[in-house]
Amino acid sequence: MQIGTRLGSSGLVVLLLAGLSACSTPAAPPPPPEPPAAAGPAQQGEASYYGPQFEGRRTASGERFDPASNTAAHRSLPLGTVAEVKNLRTGRAERVVIRDRGPYVRGRVIDVSPRTAERLGMKQDGTAPVEVKPIAVPANAGGGDAQAAASTR
């Protein structure tokens, strides 16, 4: 009987060692995260800013325009896009959120709020050459933009 018990114990030891060796094998590391997709190409052109008559009006996104906000209007960037606007004369840059459509003046690429215009150093002149660089595009930015067509600007 002791022989059977010894063989049983040996078999158990072998199984235990095999199990432990499997635990000591390092697991494969997780794959590295995918790099973020580029939000879009930069665009250069002329910027202007919203006049006082737009205060409180609804933007294409449905929000009311606040001159102290970082709201901006762009003709084609999806609503909700975060973009960096850089004044090419002063080198100053500010982040804005595209909440409206426009501008509707030939040669202009973006309208910014008066607060943003002040920070970019363009408020006195009213316009400035800028570079608009999309930073983050909302995940739901595919397909048609029905709200853009209904802009009240």
- Is the CATH number of domain 43-139 1.10.3720.10? no
Q: What is the phi/psi pair of residue 30, to 5°?
A: -65, 155
Block residue for tokens 């960037």 = 77
Q: Tens digit of pLDDT per residue, the chain (153 long)?
A: 554 455 465 555 555 555 555 555 556 666 655 444 456 899 999 999 999 999 999 999 999 999 999 999 999 999 999 999 999 999 999 999 999 999 999 999 999 999 999 999 999 999 999 999 999 999 876 544 434 333 333
- pLDDT tens digits, one per residue of 87-119: 999 999 999 999 999 999 999 999 999 999 999
Which pLDDT score is estimated for 53? 95
Domain boundaries along the sequence of the chain: 43-139
According to the 3-state scheme, what is the secondary structure of 31-73? Answer: CCCCCCCCCCCCEEEEEEECCHHHCCCECCCCCECCCCCCEEE
- Alpha-carbon span 93 to 142, nearest angstrom: 27
- Alpha-carbon span 96 to 55, nearest angstrom: 17
* CA-closest candidate to residue 134, choices 79, 63, 89: 79
* CA-closest candidate to residue 67, choices 80, 81, 49: 49
